[in-house]
Amino acid sequence: MSGIQQHFISSPSLGRLVKGLSRLPRLLLSVVAGYLRELGVGLLAILAAMVVVGFMIAAAGLDTLRAYRALLEGSVGSINGISETLVRATPLILIGLGIAVAFRGGMWNIGGEGQFYLGALGAALVGIYLPPMSPVVHVLLALLSGFTCGGLWAAIAGYLRARRGANEIVVTIMMNYLAAFLISFLVSGPLRDNSRLIPVPQTPRIVDSAVLPRLIPQTRIHAGFLIAIVAAVAVWFLLERTTVGYSIKATGENPEAARYGGINVPLISTLAMVLSGGLAGIAGMSEVTGVHRYLLEGISPGYGYLAIAVALFGGLSPLGVILSALFFGALMVGAEAMQRAVGVPVATIYLLQGLVVIFVLARQVLLRRRRILDLKA
Amino acid sequence: MFWEQMLTVAFLGSVLGAGVRLAAPLLFAALGELFAERSGVLNIGIEGMMLFGALCGFLGSYFSRNAWIGLLTAMIGGGLLSLIHAYLSITMGADQVVSGISINLLAQGLVTFLNRAIFGLPMLPPSAVPFTKIEIPLLSKIPLLGPLLFSHHALVYVALALVPIVYVTLFRTTFGLRVSAVGEDPRGAEAVGIDIARTRYICVILGGMLSGIGGVTLSLANLNLFKESIVAGRGYIAIAIVMFARWNPVTTLGAAFLFGIVDALQMHIQSLGIALVPPQLLLSLPYIATVLFLVSRAGASSAPSALCVPYVKEH
């Protein structure tokens, strides 16, 4: 070994740097390969589901290829199609992120739908009843209110689970129904817009300073999409770079071990639930201030339930959630085009979504089993 | 005035009768869940299995003009879906909650697709041949007790008869003891020669078939129509009933009846047309009751020990 090399290696920080740099390409390669494998699994699941559904469309006597072409063209074939896809993807990303946080923390939050409703309510109240003010402040207040309302709604289930041992799956589902009834009551009674000649069950419009700006003129894509992307980065940072995120993941993986390691498990799981509900609440805020500009009864076409599929399909990672939300958003938009072009019922995409989730679950289990077998061998 | 309307024999009788009728689908699903959970498999998917059973049963009766064929197709439908859950969670060792949730998503998609592909979006919902009311002669005329027990459609009698059958099966037969062993201590059960996977498969499929019957009780007996929101969380309520009833079929009957009464009360109070109470609050009652019941008896002290734990064979 030459003197210079020895010198480099004996200097600890430089040595580590060289070693690290020499490992970097391999590390990058393995990370990229990991992502590609995940992506491959996802694409394979989509392909398998599309083949099954394709046969069912053909069995119904319709033209499968034309249907799928319409699906593609409708969702990503034009500026307007892409914009609509992003509009649908926005709440799916936000709720999906929330579900990912809860699931990673071992809390089975199925209550995205209800938390979305409460967030929409919180934002609508701030948007309707606060006086006009600086748009930035007003939007931030609406966001805060949406986050808080969604978070508190989820906190009920989180608390009942963490402190009283009540099963959170059942509680969050029940809270979904309660949220829908609450909104229905409010928009047809106390909060109803009575200025119309024939009152319909919806609130008055929010004031202009609370409206989220549109990103592209002539389309509906709004700043909520940017909020969703920022939220994804924030969730990634939380889970991968903070102690709280580590505690959430540790609690989810093994609550006994986490408790042993000094983590306050009830607190952390309630916190995961609150964050989860808060993110769904932001989705509700984004729909009210970005899309509808008032609160109405059926404001969610089942975003909260679809987001569970989004989160599972996205492998519970922020990047995965964004990608799968874009896919499911495109499906929602493309399905309408498919119905117009070929007469395939919009409901077909629900079937596609269900199959994709089942296939991806089966694939993931297969991969895990293979890994276990490899370890044993 | 309010109480006068409510405290009549006729009103109470019809609430009790409706309570039993509304309890029947919950009872079927809860007894099905009971089998699965006692063998150590949590089945969140019964919501989807009820929904699929409700549609399959409705279609069976719609095309065959025979309600009993509908019952059969509902069992097959629920059973087929449960087979997916069994395969994923028993054979593949997947997370039981994730598998169950996935099945609910799949069922929602499958049912929406089939319903719209077969019936389209008609102005009037189609109707099939339903289960009709069978009045037991004489007994059905007894005040209160008559409407409570002896004036129902066939599936209510089946549900009530099922409770002692399930009780005996679980606690007095070799099969039932095997189920408990598998749910409590699979490792030990395997050591004495019980086939874990086979026992769990049987229980999960039995549970799926019973959930299917629960679904068809909604679409062919309590109502005679099918809509995609027909189950409305009853599968999850059934799961809550099993927890509340501490994994026992007899207390399951009691808990299901309690839920049926809550549901019947909210419907009957609505039909009295009391403007003071918003309808949404009344509609909320069964869901609020579910949460309260869960909280009141929370703590899973008597849950099967191996619930939710995939079993991996050791070699």
> What is the DSSP code string of B20-65?
HHHHHHHHHHHHHHHHHHHTT---TTHHHHHHHHHHHHHHHHHHHS
Instruction: Flag whether pLDDT at A377 surpasses 50.
Output: no
Displacement of CA A278 from its chain's centroid (Å): 12
Q: What tokens appear for B59 in the block?
A: 């279609």
Q: Which residues of A touch B292 (CB under 8 A)?
A: none
Instruction: Flag whether pLDDT at B155 surpasses 50.
Output: yes
Predicted pLDDT at A14: 67
Least confident of A357-366, B76-85, B229-238: A357-366
Instruction: Flag whether pLDDT at B297 surpasses 80.
Output: no
Q: How many A-B residue pairs are in contact by the CB < 8 A criterion? A: 134
pLDDT digits (tens, 9 = 90+) for A7-25: 444 455 667 777 777 777 8
Residues 6+ away with beta carbon under 8 Å from A241: none
Instruction: Flag whether pLDDT at A302 surpasses 60.
Output: yes
pLDDT digits (tens, 9 = 90+) for A82-128: 999 999 999 999 999 999 999 999 999 999 999 999 999 999 999 99
Predicted pLDDT at A165: 85
Instruction: Flag whether pLDDT at B3 surpasses 70.
Output: no
Q: Would you call A354 and B93 a contact, using CB atoms and an 8 Å cutoff?
A: no
Reported pTM = 0.89
Strands (DSSP E) contained in chain B are 133-135, 151-153
Q: Where are the alpha helices (DSSP H) in A189-317?
A: 224-241, 243-253, 255-260, 265-286, 303-313
Query: In this structure, how many other beta carbons lie within 10 angstroms of the beta carbon of residue B140?
Result: 18
pLDDT digits (tens, 9 = 90+) for A126-170: 999 999 999 999 999 999 999 999 999 999 999 999 888 888 999
Predicted pLDDT at A340: 87
Of the two residues A283 and A216, the one the predictor is more confident about is A283
A window 74-113, beta carbon within 8 A of B: 108, 110
Q: Which residues of A touch B299 (CB under 8 A)?
A: 164-165
Q: What band does A215 get if pLDDT is binned at 50, 70 and 90?
A: very high
β-pair partners for A209: none
What's the rounded mean pLDDT across residues B77-98? 91
What's the rounded mean pLDDT across residues A287-300? 94
pLDDT digits (tens, 9 = 90+) for A306-350: 999 899 888 899 999 999 999 999 999 998 888 888 888 887 887
What's the rounded mean pLDDT across residues B134-140? 82
Determine the residue of chain B that is closest to A159 in CA distance. B295
Q: Would you call A308 and B290 a contact, using CB atoms and an 8 Å cutoff?
A: no
Q: Which residues of B touch A348 (CB under 8 A)?
A: 113
Rounded Cα distance, A119 and A123, in Å:
6
Phi, psi of A116 (to 5 degrees): -60, -45
Coil vs helix vs strand at A130 = coil
Query: In this structure, how many other beta carbons lie within 10 angstroms of the beta carbon of residue A198?
Result: 4
Predicted pLDDT at A372: 55
Rounded Cα distance, A233 and A230, in Å:
5
Rounded Cα distance, A225 and A287, in Å:
10
B window 196-235, beta carbon within 8 A of A: 232-233
State the best of A62, A156, A173 to mutate against chain B, taking most chain B CBs within 10 Å: A173
State the best of A164, A181, A303, A342 to mutate against chain B, taking most chain B CBs within 10 Å: A181
Predicted pLDDT at A8: 45
Mean pLDDT, chain A, whole residue set = 88
Least confident of A41-55, B35-49, B209-223: A41-55
Counting residues of chain A whose pLDDT is more than 90, the rounded percentage is 62
Rounded Cα distance, A265 and A252, in Å:
9
Rounded Cα distance, A165 and A159, in Å:
9
Domain residue spans of chain A:
88-318
Q: Would you call A312 and B88 a contact, using CB atoms and an 8 Å cutoff?
A: no
What's the rounded mean pLDDT across residues A220-228? 96
Most confident of A12-21, A138-147, A352-361, B107-116: A138-147
- Angle, CA A341 vertex, CA A340 and CA A342 arms, to 5°: 105
Instruction: Flag whether pLDDT at B314 surpasses 70.
Output: no
Counting residues of chain B whose pLDDT is more than 70, the rounded percentage is 95
Q: Would you call B113 and A309 a contact, using CB atoms and an 8 Å cutoff?
A: no
Query: In this structure, how many other beta carbons lie within 10 angstroms of the beta carbon of residue B272?
Result: 11
The answer to whether A170 contacts chain B (CB < 8 Å) is: yes
CB-CB contact of A297 with A183 (8 Å)? yes
Q: What tokens appear for B145 in the block?
A: 């007790």
Q: What band does B11 get if pLDDT is binned at 50, 70 and 90?
A: confident
Counting residues of chain A whose pLDDT is more than 70, the rounded percentage is 92
Predicted pLDDT at A368: 62
Q: Which residues of B touch A179 (CB under 8 A)?
A: none
